[in-house]
A = this chain, B = another copy of it.
Amino acid sequence: MPFNAPIVGIDLGGTNIQIGVVSPERQILGRAKLKTKADQGYDTVLDRITSGITDACAEAKLTLADIAAIGIGAPGPIDPNTGVVLEAVNLRWTNAPLAADLGKRLGKPVVVDNDVNVAVYGENVMGAGDGSRFLLGVWLGTGVGGGLILDGKLYYGHFLTAGEIGHTTLLPGSPPGSTSLEHNCARSAVADRIARLIRANRPSIVTTLTDGSLDSIKSKVIAAAYEANDELVREVVDDVCERVGVAVASAVTLLSLERIVLGGGLSEAMGKPFVKKIAQSVKRHAFPARCRDVDVVGSALEDNAGVFGAALLASERT
């Protein structure tokens, strides 16, 4: 449908649900953010999405009757044609017919796609993707996710699981379970590595910034220490940038990509120096030489990429 009435975009995560009412002018008119409570089961999550939509509409001074459609980005592989969530480990769902069930409840068309695909689509239509026809989005957060746009369209592949760059092998021959990009470069992996070095008596400003509680160092702390030129954090983060660059360069070499968008909590907190370091590594490793013209940029929509992307996809597909 043409985007000429408000659409609700939803970023459904294992921990939080983010909801936004998006206007045809691409403004967020109203929002809601609530806990997912996936442990209470599928119906509870549907209840929470429904009440969150009501809240976001109220903030936008609208009712559900004003909403043209609903778009959702959900974790795991999804069949984009049916809106069935095939397997979402952190929601404990298998073959959940989310689009159909929510559509019945709300009496609205509902479109569901993978969360990273949705964010990458949002970036490509109105953010840092700049309408590229050959784009890989890499989302570095708690885990490492990815989404592909090939020949101008979201790409799914045969098993509908495409884009999982976080699970490509980065260090073959390493101990089992430690070979993937995600295992080496997710926020949690970076935090663990910094904590381990500090516990081995390396000095770092992170000790002060966290009051010595090193169990789950946040992206913002890592970013602050990097900006303060902390030697230990520089060493770890620069190595992570090099590794992310190696994995991304292999994707550029295989797919002859035009543009890479880096998003997710770690990348957003770290900002431009992080993106620049990764870009340098990508350009060092991409083949052949003409592929080194690939653009490597940071997310423009940041935390709103999922909400915007979901609304835009719903408009596109209904």
Contact A164 B254 (CB under 8 A): yes
The 0/1 profile, CB within 8 Å of B marked 1, for residues 143-172 of chain A is 000101011000111111111110111111
Q: How far is the CA of A162 from the CA of B250 in the complex (A)?
A: 11
Q: Which residue of B lies closest to A173 (CB)?
A: B171
Flag if A288 contacts B167 (CB, 8 Å): yes
A160 CB contact (under 8 Å) in B246, B256, B285: B256
Q: How far is the CA of A179 from the CA of B151 in the complex (A)?
A: 29
Given contacts A169-B249, A249-B169, contact A162 B254 (CB under 8 A): yes
Give the docked Cα–Cα distance between A215 and B255 (Å): 35
Judge if A290 is at the interface, Cβ distance under 8 Å.
yes
- B87, B165, B285, B291: the one contacting A254 at CB < 8 Å is B165
* Nearest CB of chain B from residue A288's CB, rounded to whole Å: 6
Q: Would you call A265 an interface residue if the criterion is a C-beta within 8 Å of the partner chain's C-beta atoms?
A: no
Q: Which residues of B contact A255 (CB under 8 A)?
A: 148, 155, 157, 162, 254-255
> How many chain A residues have a CB neighbour from B under 8 Å?
48
- List of B residues within 8 angstroms of A84 by Cβ: none
- Interface SS of A by simple majority: loop
Q: Is the CB of A243 closer than 8 A to any CB of chain B?
A: yes
Q: Which 5 interchain pairs have the tightest Cβ spacing?
A: A157-B256, A167-B287, A158-B258, A168-B250, A162-B256
Known A158-B256, A159-B293; 8 more pairs at CB < 8 Å: A150-B155, A158-B258, A158-B294, A161-B256, A161-B291, A162-B254, A168-B254, A179-B285
17 A-B contacts, Cβ less than 8 Å apart?
Answer: A77-B288, A148-B254, A150-B155, A151-B151, A157-B257, A159-B258, A159-B293, A160-B256, A161-B256, A161-B290, A164-B287, A164-B288, A167-B288, A169-B246, A172-B246, A250-B250, A251-B254
